[in-house]
Amino acid sequence: MLARPKHLPEYLIEAGSLALFMVSAAGFATLLQHPTSPIAAAFARAGVSPVVQRIPMGLAMGLTAIAIVYSPFGARSGAHINPAVTLAFLRLGKIASRDATGYIAAQFAGGIIGIVTAVGIFGGLPADPAVNYVATQPGNAGPVAAFVAELIISFCLMSLVLHVSNTPRIARLTGLCAGALVATYIVIEAPLSGMSMNPARTFGANVLAHTTRTLWIYFTAPPLGMLLAAELYVRTASRPVRCAKLNHPTSGPCIFGCEEITA
């Protein structure tokens, strides 16, 4: 009989957190983009520019990310919800290889479960081409531009997380800063790559949308960008990486062997 994984609760939280993120993404995309949505119709009648149309989606997903980070569940698992984030912390020596494997498997499972659940909850509406299962695809500039864009935004996000989370005075703001950056990227960068930064977020959606041909972009650029950010931090920063959590509470279990973070 196989023993239960030591950190199964954290793995399940990671799966559930990304599933929730995908349900939120599909729900808000359906509300804002589906042809039968009154909001989409109002945008069309008013001639609202695409950039302005992306603002509510950016706010919705930024707030979703923030809510996950600061929830009790996010405080327990660290709220990675992204294999690229987990790989960066593995490089930094803040997560054991076995736990990193468990996190990544859980994240991919959560991404698949989340988009399938969203299709069921919203009566198949996310399948409409206007929503397209919230799949992430290169924009008109092509796959090379999408790769470069994903590399840059992933590098910047991980750099922000490392610098803010390891500065005791502002560490508690890490989730807010990360969520704000996610919102900004959706508004500004999405036309280039669809704004993923997350292989597990993209995989399930793109499989359902039959757009797997460009998965290589989202499987390579985000991990590479975040690993580069981790490498640069190790070589240049004066503060050590204290923990692999985006939000570190003052009490409760931590599987990362972290140092205490004080304000």
**Model pLDDT for residues 152-186, shown as the tens digit of each residue:** 999 999 999 999 999 999 999 999 999 999 999 99
pLDDT of residue 263: 41
Q: Sorting pLDDT into bands at 50, 70 and 90, what band is 90? A: very high
Half-sphere exposure of residue 194, counting CA atoms within 13 Å on the CB side? Answer: 27
Q: Sorting pLDDT into bands at 50, 70 and 90, what band is 5? A: low
Q: How far apart are CA 165 and CA 158, in angstroms?
A: 10
Q: Is it the case that residue 23 has pLDDT exceeding 70?
A: yes
Q: How far apart are CA 74 and CA 67, in angstroms?
A: 8
Number of C-beta neighbours around residue 207 at 10 A: 16
Candidates 197, 241, 246; CA nearest to 70 is: 246
Which pairs from 45-49 meet CB under 8 Å and 24+ separation?
Answer: none
Q: How far apart are CA 161 and CA 140, in angstroms?
A: 30
Class of domain 8-236: mainly alpha
Q: pTM higher than 0.85, yes or no?
A: yes
pLDDT digits (tens, 9 = 90+) for 193-243: 999 999 999 999 999 999 999 999 999 999 999 999 999 999 998 889 989
Q: How far apart are CA 241 and CA 233, in angstroms?
A: 9
pLDDT of residue 259: 56
Q: Sorting pLDDT into bands at 50, 70 and 90, what band is 261? A: very low
**Alpha helices (H) in the chain, listed in sequence order:** 8-33, 38-46, 50-70, 72-77, 83-91, 97-121, 143-165, 174-188, 190-193, 199-208, 215-236
- The string over 175-189, giving b where at least 16 C-beta atoms fall within 10 Å of a residue's C-beta and e elsewhere, is bbbbbbbbbebbbeb
Number of C-beta neighbours around residue 97 at 10 A: 8
pLDDT digits (tens, 9 = 90+) for 32-79: 999 999 999 999 999 999 999 999 999 999 999 999 999 999 999 999
pLDDT of residue 4: 55
Q: How far apart are CA 201 and CA 22, in angstroms?
A: 7
pLDDT of residue 6: 76
Q: How far is CA 230 from the centre of its chain?
A: 17
Number of C-beta neighbours around residue 54 at 10 A: 19
pLDDT of residue 3: 47
Domain boundaries, the chain: 8-236
Q: How far apart are CA 25 and CA 91, in angstroms?
A: 29
Q: Is the dihedral of CA 219, 225, 226, 231 positive or negative?
A: positive
Q: Using DSSP, state whether 7 is helix, strand or coil.
A: coil
Q: Sorting pLDDT into bands at 50, 70 and 90, what band is 121? A: very high
The token duo for 76 is 């327990």
The amino acid sitting at 92 is L
